[in-house]
Amino acid sequence: MVQRIREWIEIRTGISELVRSQLIGYMVPRNINIFYSLGIVAFVAYIIQAITGIFLLIYYAPHEDHAFKSIQLIMNTVPYGWLFRLMHVVGSNLMVAVVFLHMLSVFFLQAYKKPRELTWVIGALMSLITLTFCLSGYLLPWSQLSYWATTIVTTMPTAFPVIGDFFTKLLRGGEQVSGVTLNRFFAVHVAFLPPLMLILFGIHIFLVCRIGFSSPPFGKVIEERKEWKEFRPESYPDGHPFYPYFFSKEAFMIFLYFLAMFFIISFAPALFLPADANTPADPLNTPEHVRPEWYFLAPYQMFKLIPNKFLGIILQITLVILFILWPFFDRLKENNILKRPRLLVLFLGVLSLWAVLTIWGSY
């Protein structure tokens, strides 16, 4: 019976040929490492967010009078609602961490070099959308923390002359963060960003599949790099088969991701939900210590340190543009960062600065 079903599917889809060519017959570099699997982990993280988000949508009410109550309902009353919400909250933080790690590893392995500049640009845009997801989702519980953190963030554009006030009003839907802001952020979070992300994701995956894996610039096997004058998929005839060699690495990292998620949910469920996140929003009462989530602490601290706020915001925008277009600035052919001391120092310097600003910003 099983054999007959298999044959039925095979005749109609030719799946065994697909498995042969894309899994068993698809070769990856011999020295490929576990960091190359972070992309698929980020993808799984997005899927988890989408699924848990859809379940939360069933009970969540995007209205200033009901949003917090609906979160209470999800956490206390709805069967396993707590599980979906915690997976969504913990997952959002882990997803940002995975995306950061993915970008860092791509940078360190210099995998953005020709012909993968476009893959990097799309990936960088996706990471920005990830942060926008976090930002828009942050307001939705309508808690003290989310209300005041959004007030701070939506105040930032006022540093721009001429258009700043207009932009802030556009974000808030008025002078203050209100129910209108909640509706706008909700729409952005559930209707505007997901299709945008899907489109970019499609392009990203298309490029990764079309060009092929890059090979790590370290280790024993380093292919002689040829000049890219015309398109050709990168192939590794003497490499390892994708399945089971790299597939097992990817599966390991995905399970590790789930392990981290359930470890936090089991032993530190409130890690990303401090007391102010569990108190309903009160526009008349500003909490004493409001600070952004950990991934925004470095830019937030930088913003505080620069005395001219407009210059601060321009500097940040410049850094973001530099980050997105980095492959076009770095035109050297050498793809082993260890042989490029200046770039290595820049990489480590930026990382250390980020860490220092993050720690500083948390006080």
Residues that bind other proteins (CB under 8 A): 71-72, 75-76, 82-83, 86, 114, 148, 151-152, 155-156, 158-159, 161-162, 164, 244-245, 248-249, 251-252, 255-256, 258-259, 262-263, 265-267, 269-270, 273, 275, 278, 280, 286-291, 304, 308-311, 314-315, 318, 321-322, 325, 328-331
**Minimum separation from the CB atom of position 82 to other proteins (A):** 6
| Minimum CB distance to other proteins smaller for 152 or for 196 | 152
**Minimum separation from the CB atom of position 57 to other proteins (A):** 19
Q: Is 181 exposed, middle or buried (0-12, 13-18, 19+ CB in 10 A)?
A: buried
| Minimum CB distance to other proteins smaller for 130 or for 137 | 137
Contact yes or no for 186/64 (Cβ under 8 A): no
| Minimum CB distance to other proteins smaller for 128 or for 265 | 265
| Minimum CB distance to other proteins smaller for 127 or for 144 | 144
How does DSSP assign 124-190, residue by residue?
Answer: HHHHHHHHHHHHHHHHTT-BHHHHHHHHHHHHGGGGSTTTHHHHHHHHHTSSS--HHHHHHHHHIII
**Minimum separation from the CB atom of position 343 to other proteins (A):** 14
Token duo for residue 11 = 């005749």
| Minimum CB distance to other proteins smaller for 1 or for 162 | 162
From the centroid of its chain, how far is CA 79? 29
- Strand, helix or coil for residue 244: helix
What is the rounded CA–CA span in Å between residue 270 and residue 143? 14
**Minimum separation from the CB atom of position 173 to other proteins (A):** 17
| Minimum CB distance to other proteins smaller for 295 or for 303 | 303
Q: Is 216 exposed, middle or buried (0-12, 13-18, 19+ CB in 10 A)?
A: buried
What is the rounded CA–CA span in Å between residue 212 and residue 234? 5
CA distances from 201 to 42, 208, 235, 273 (A): 11, 10, 23, 29
**Minimum separation from the CB atom of position 134 to other proteins (A):** 19
From the centroid of its chain, how far is CA 113? 21
**Minimum separation from the CB atom of position 261 to other proteins (A):** 9
- DSSP for residue 213: P
**Minimum separation from the CB atom of position 295 to other proteins (A):** 18
Token duo for residue 79 = 């069967």
| Minimum CB distance to other proteins smaller for 237 or for 307 | 307
